[in-house]
C-alpha cells in the first residue's frame, strides 16, 4: 500500500478511485440485498467493475450497517437500496455498560470477509480496499445519532465507554480484513462531520488514530472517509495519521488538501447523487474536468466520488467520468 501511494504521488498522471460497487451489482444482474448478504455476489460485483473500468484501486460496498448488525441492531433490507438501521438499541449509560462486543462470526461479517478474500485472490493488477464504519458513526447507529450528540456533552464518560467498545470491534474487524490480503480499508466516519474540529478529535479521531497505529503498515493502509466534513474538521481528521483521506462534496478540495500531508492521498469529491446518479454525461465530464484542472498542482490528489455511488447510477455517467480523466492525462 505504501509503495502504491508513493507511485500515485510520483506519477505524472492523475488516477481515479471512485467509491462504487452498486454499478457492479447491476452489471451482474443481481440485487443490492443479494450483494449485501452474500459474499460471493458481492465479490462478483467488485470483479465486474474492476474488469470494466480503469480504477486505480477496487472498492467494496460502503455498508454502514454491518458492524451495527453484529452488535445486535435491527436492520431493514430492501432489494435495491442499501440496508438501514431501524431505531436504536441503546438508551442510557446502563445499556452502554452492558453492551457486549461481538465476535466476527456475527451477522453478515463473515460474508464481507469472504467478499474481500475472493476479491483479493482474483484482482491482482490494483489494490483492493475493504470497507468498515468509523467509531463515532457506529456509536451513533447504536445509540441514535441525535442522542449521541447530546450524550457527548451530558455524559462524556458514557460516550467514551461506548466509543471504546465500538473501537474494539472495528479493530478486530480491520485485523480480519487485513488477514484476507486486502491492501487497506476505507473507514467511513461521516458522523464525525457533525462535530466541531475539537470534538471531532476527542470523540472520533483519537479512536481512529488508535486503530491506525495498530493495523497500518507498509502493506495495509487506512483511508479515512468523512463526507460530513465541510472543511471545518479536516485538521482533526489528519491527526489520525491515516494513509489517505477521502472527502465528500460538501467541502472545497482546493482548501482541504492544504491540511493533508503531502505524503498522504487526498481523494474526492464529485457529488455521487447530483452528478453520478442524476446528472448527464456532459455534466459529469465538465465537472470532473474542472476538478482535475483545479487540483493539477497537487500530486497527492486522487479523483473520486464524494461518497459511495448510489444504486442505478447510469453507466454513461461513469464512462464520462473516466473519459474526462483520460482526456486530462492525454
List, for residues 226-260, the tens digit of each pLDDT value: 999 999 999 999 999 999 999 999 999 999 999 99
Domain boundaries, the chain: 2-329
Instruction: Please give the torsion angle defined by the CA atoms of residues 44, 45, 50 and 51, in that order, rounded to the nearest 10 degrees.
Output: 70
Q: What is the CATH number of domain 2-329?
A: 3.20.20.210
List, for residues 278-322, the tens digit of each pLDDT value: 999 999 999 999 999 999 999 999 999 999 999 999 999 999 999
Residue entry with cell 477496487: 58
Q: Three cell numbers at 37?
A: 448478504
Question: What is residue 248's predicted lDDT score, i.e. its pLDDT?
Answer: 96
pTM of the predicted model as reported, rounded to 2 decimal places: 0.97
The angle formed by the CA atoms of residues 67, 69 and 75, to the nearest 5 degrees, is 130
**pLDDT, averaged across the chain:** 97
Amino acid at each position: 500500500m505504501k509503495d502504491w501511494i508513493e507511485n500515485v504521488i510520483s506519477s505524472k498522471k492523475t488516477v481515479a478511485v471512485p467509491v462504487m460497487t452498486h454499478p457492479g451489482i447491476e452489471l451482474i444482474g443481481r440485487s443490492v440485498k443479494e450483494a449485501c448478504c452474500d459474499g460471493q455476489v458481492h465479490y462478483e460485483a467488485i470483479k465486474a467493475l474492476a474488469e470494466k473500468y480503469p480504477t486505480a484501486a477496487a472498492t467494496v460496498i460502503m455498508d454502514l450497517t454491518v458492524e451495527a448488525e453484529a452488535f445486535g441492531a435491527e436492520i431493514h433490507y430492501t432489494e435495491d437500496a442499501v440496508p438501514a438501521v431501524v431505531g436504536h438499541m441503546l438508551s442510557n449509560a446502563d445499556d452502554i455498560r452492558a453492551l457486549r462486543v461481538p465476535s466476527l462470526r456475527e451477522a453478515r461479517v463473515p460474508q464481507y470477509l469472504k467478499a474481500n478474500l475472493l476479491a483479493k485472490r482474483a484482482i491482482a493488477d490494483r489494490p483492493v480496499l475493504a470497507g468498515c464504519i468509523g467509531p463515532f458513526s457506529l456509536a451513533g447507529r447504536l445509540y441514535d445519532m441525535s442522542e449521541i450528540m447530546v450524550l457527548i456533552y451530558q455524559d462524556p464518560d458514557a460516550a467514551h465507554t461506548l466509543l471504546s467498545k465500538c473501537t474494539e470491534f472495528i479493530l478486530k474487524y480491520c485485523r480480519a480484513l487485513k488477514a484476507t490480503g486486502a491492501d487497506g480499508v476505507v473507514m467511513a466516519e461521516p458522523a464525525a462531520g457533525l462535530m466541531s474540529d475539537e470534538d471531532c478529535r476527542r470523540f472520533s479521531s483519537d479512536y481512529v488514530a488508535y486503530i491506525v497505529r495498530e493495523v497500518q503498515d507498509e502493506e495495509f493502509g487506512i483511508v479515512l472517509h468523512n463526507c460530513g466534513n465541510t472543511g471545518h474538521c479536516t485538521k482533526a481528521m489528519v491527526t489520525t495519521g491515516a494513509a489517505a483521506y477521502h472527502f465528500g462534496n460538501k467541502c472545497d478540495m482546493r482548501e482541504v488538501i492544504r491540511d493533508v500531508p503531502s505524503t498522504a492521498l487526498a481523494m474526492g469529491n464529485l457529488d455521487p447523487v447530483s452528478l453520478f446518479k442524476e446528472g448527464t454525461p456532459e455534466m459529469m465530464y465538465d465537472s470532473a474536468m474542472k476538478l482535475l484542472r483545479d487540483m493539477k498542482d497537487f500530486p497527492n490528489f486522487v479523483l473520486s466520488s464524494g461518497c459511495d455511488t448510489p444504486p442505478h447510477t447510469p453507466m454513461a455517467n461513469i464512462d464520462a467520468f473516466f473519459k474526462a480523466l483520460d482526456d486530462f492525462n492525454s
